[in-house]
Amino acid sequence: MTATLRSILLLAAGLCACMAGAQPPAAPDIPAPRAGEAVETARAIQLREREAAQPVRPWAEPDPAAIPAGKAGEAIRYGQALLTRTSILIGPNAPDPARRFAGNNLNCVHCHAVGPSGLPGTKPYSLPLVNVVNEYPKLDIKSMKVISLETRIAGMVGKGPAGGIPADGPEMQAILAYLKWLGRAGRPDTRMAQTGLDEVAMPNRAADTGRGERLYREHCIACHQPDGTGIKAPDFAGGAGYAFPPIAGNDSYDDGGHMAMVPLLARFLAANMPYGSTQQSPRLTVDEAYDIAAYVTNHLPRKHNPGRVKSYPAEALRPGGFVIPEYFPGDDAAYQRARLGPFIDPPALRPSADAHHDLAAEQ
């Protein structure tokens, strides 16, 4: 039996177990991931099997009033502030030049949004952070390495005028303190319901970017502007960042980023946009979000990442939405077709481990 087939069968077994009210079976025979481990395709599929078999806990987040007093509480609050006011504290225009660690002027909460509690990273299906401390070290199929939570944080922050965020500095330690406190209801090697993105199915058709542009102008342009560069805060030069963040241009994600994949952006939009939308009370249909995502990805300008050709080196684990012209040498017509979908993940990525999150939430 091939590793890919084992992966599919194990995921199917986990799905049946969840539907029966039980947790997916454990996978004790698969060695745990080790931070820094470079993996081949077979090992990567094993690690995805292991993750798919992890038990799913109900959504849980702490009460902000429960942040302790003393030095521990100070570190947690500083971490909370760093995620909420990233730009003013460590952005490229931050008042303290020695702390200009971030690579852009965004705040972490622009993607990892606040939920009803007011805590950053607590909105379901908005890439929440409520359980990340229990999910790392974790396989990163983009690099085919197992990475630590510190490595993920450093990658998200990027590198600003003062360089990247120091691993042993107070900022990194504060973010870790906040994430540990935020995830204290979880357990290592467990997942949590409603985290990640909502795994809704994408339309089985090519995206219509003309319709996407019309929908963008109807739903998105007031905040993100015609060119997608957002609305700057009045004291942008002093580090205040954006009133409404850019989704294009040089201060947003580049053309090799996760959100440069139409299916991922569509899932984010469907559960979170326009502002105030939720997965339970959406304002866009998945069909509409799909076309908007295709328009944003293919027609709004953004900075180029020349290293993207090295991303997702294992073809068996390359998301269907990661479509770049380097994969279509001499065949621009094929590239143009591929960039609009329909987008089909390879078998080893179907069904996603995150699909169990929805099942857990419904029980």
- CA-nearest of 12, 15, 2, 83 to 45 is 2
CA distance 289 to 347: 24
Section 187-193 average pLDDT = 94
pLDDT per position as a tens digit, 100-112: 999 999 999 999 9
Is 14 a residue whose pLDDT tops 60? Answer: no
Is 319 a residue whose pLDDT tops 60? Answer: yes
The residue type of 51 is E
Better-predicted residue by pLDDT, 184 or 358: 184
Beta bridge partners of 232: 242
Domains present along the chain, CATH in parentheses: 1-195 (1.10.760.10), 209-362 (1.10.760.10)
pLDDT per position as a tens digit, 60-98: 999 999 999 999 999 999 999 999 999 999 999 999 999
pLDDT per position as a tens digit, 203-256: 999 999 999 999 999 999 999 999 999 999 999 999 999 999 999 999 999 999
CA distance 79 to 85: 10
Section 181-199 average pLDDT = 95
Residue 65, pLDDT score: 97
CA distance 182 to 57: 14
Specify the 3-state DSSP secondary structure of 139: strand
pLDDT per position as a tens digit, 278-295: 999 999 999 999 999 999
CA distance 86 to 92: 10
Question: What is the average pLDDT value for the chain, to the nearest integer?
Answer: 91
Residue 24, pLDDT score: 46
Residue 350, pLDDT score: 81
Percent helix, strand and coil across the chain, each to the nearest 5: 45, 5, 50
Name, in order, each residue with C-beta under 8 angstroms of 344's C-beta and a sequence gap of 6 or more: 320
pLDDT tier at 325, thresholds 50, 70, 90: very high
pLDDT tier at 4, thresholds 50, 70, 90: very low
pTM, entire model: 0.88
The percentage of the chain sitting over the pLDDT mark of 70, rounded to a whole number, equals 89
Name, in order, each residue with C-beta under 8 angstroms of 66's C-beta and a sequence gap of 6 or more: none
| Three-class SS of 260-284 | HCHHHHHHHHHHHCCCCCCCCCCCC
